[in-house]
Amino acid sequence: EVQLVESGGGLVQPGGSLRLSCAASGFTFSSYEMNWVRQAPGMGLEWVSYIRRSDNTIYYADSVKGRFTISTDDAKNLLFLQMNSLRAEDTAVYYCTRDPSGPVTHDYWGQGTLVTVSS
Partner 1 sequence: EVVLTQSPGTLSLSPGERATLSCRASQSVYSSFLGWYQQKPGQAPRLLIYGASSRATGIPDRFSGSGSGTDFTLTISRLEPEDFAVYYCHQYHYSPFTFGRGTRVDIK
Closest distance to partner 1 from the beta carbon of 115 (Å): 16
Q: Report how far residue 86's alpha carbon sits from residue 57's, in angstroms, rounded to the nearest whole number.
A: 24
Would you say 33 and 55 are in contact if contact means Cβ atoms under 8 Å apart?
no
Q: Report how far residue 74's alpha carbon sits from residue 69's, in angstroms, rounded to the nearest whole number.
A: 16
Residue with Cβ nearer partner 1 (16 or 26): 26
The footprint of partner 1 (CB under 8 A) covers 37, 44-47, 50, 59-62, 95, 102-107, 109-112
Closest distance to partner 1 from the beta carbon of 33 (Å): 10
What 3-state DSSP class applies to 27?
Answer: coil
Residue with Cβ nearer partner 1 (61 or 78): 61
CA 14 from centre of chain: 19
Q: Report how far residue 29's alpha carbon sits from residue 84's, in angstroms, rounded to the nearest whole number.
A: 26
Residue with Cβ nearer partner 1 (65 or 87): 65
Residue with Cβ nearer partner 1 (77 or 105): 105
Closest distance to partner 1 from the beta carbon of 41 (Å): 12
Closest CA to 37 of 27, 46, 24: 46
Closest distance to partner 1 from the beta carbon of 103 (Å): 4
